[in-house]
Amino acid sequence: MNKSVLIGMSALALALGACGKKTPPADIPPAAELPANPPGTATDDSVDLVELPAMQADLIAKAGSDTVYFGTDESSLDAQSQATLAAQARWLLANQSVRGSIEGHADERGTREYNLALGERRANAAKQFLIANGVPEGRLTTISWGKERPIAVGSNEEAWAQNRRSVTVVVK
């Protein structure tokens, strides 16, 4: 039914001498309203993971990097990533007071929810490698940032390669 309505409307407008071409509606300017005070957000301190910048720097210095990289839409670890994670595992075993939040990321070429799943897949790959290298599972958590936290801001191959990553974040 809708189709015939639209055809009919076209016919009407044309017959009335209205312009046969569509004039696209102008963009409406942004609303001028000031933001209302947002309500407070709930907190759940029992799972707060607090970053430790000094320890993070030590991990990077000793292990070479806190980050490993992945191929497009991939979650497998290449030789270089495995070497980096092995060094991270040694550091984690030498620093028993901290935990690792293994944080997976994706480049911007996937849809938002799929990239959340992909980031979890990458974080899990890194976590399993750390466990295989002796880090107790209880000291490791994973989260996925999907494509929400790119480290390189371009829309090109080089930036995307940097963003397909898993970062071992030192937390307490």
Partner 1 sequence: MKPIIAALLALPMATAAVAQDTGPLEVDVVGGIQAPMAIAVPAMPSTSGDAAIGRQIAEIISSDLRTTGLFTPLGPGGIGGYSYAEASNPVYATWRSAGAAALVAGYVETGGSGRLTLACYLYDVSAGRELVRQGFAVNANDWRRAAHKCADLVYSRLSGEQPFLDTRVVYVAETGPKNARVKRIAIMDSDGSNHRYLTEGKATVLTPRFSPRGDKLVYMSYQGRRPRVYVMDVATGTERLLVPGTAFTFAPRFSPDGSQIVFSMASGGNTDIYVVNANGGTPRRLTATPGADTSPSFSPDGNRIVFESDRSGSQQLYVMNYDGSNQRRVSFGGGNYASPAWSPRGDLIAFTRIGGGAFRIGVMSPSGGGERLLTNAWQDEGPSWAPNGQFVMFHRTTQGSGNAALYAVNINGGQPRRMPTPVGGSDPSWSPLNN
Task: Pick out residues in 22-51 that bind partner 1 (CB under 8 A).
Answer: 22-25, 27-33, 35-36, 38-49
In whole angstroms, the minimum distance from the beta carbon of 84 to partner 1 comes to: 19
Cβ count within 10 A of residue 33: 6
Q: Which two tokens stand for residue 172?
A: 């307490």
Segment interacting with partner 1 (CB under 8 A) among 15-23, 58-66, 77-85, 91-99 = 15-23
Q: Using the rule CB under 8 A, which residue among 71, 78, 80, 117 binds partner 1?
A: 117
Q: Could you give the maximum distance between any two Cα atoms of the chain, in Å?
A: 82
Q: Which two tokens stand for residue 141?
A: 């958590």
Site for partner 1 in 54-73 (CB under 8 A): none
In whole angstroms, the minimum distance from the beta carbon of 25 to partner 1 comes to: 5
Q: Which two tokens stand for residue 163?
A: 């963003």
Q: Decide whether 59 or 150 has the Cβ nearer to partner 1.
A: 150
Residues 6+ apart with CB under 8 A from 120: 104, 142, 143, 144
Per-residue x/- track, 72-91, partner 1 (CB under 8 A): ---x----------------
Which residue carries 């102008």 as its tokens? 26
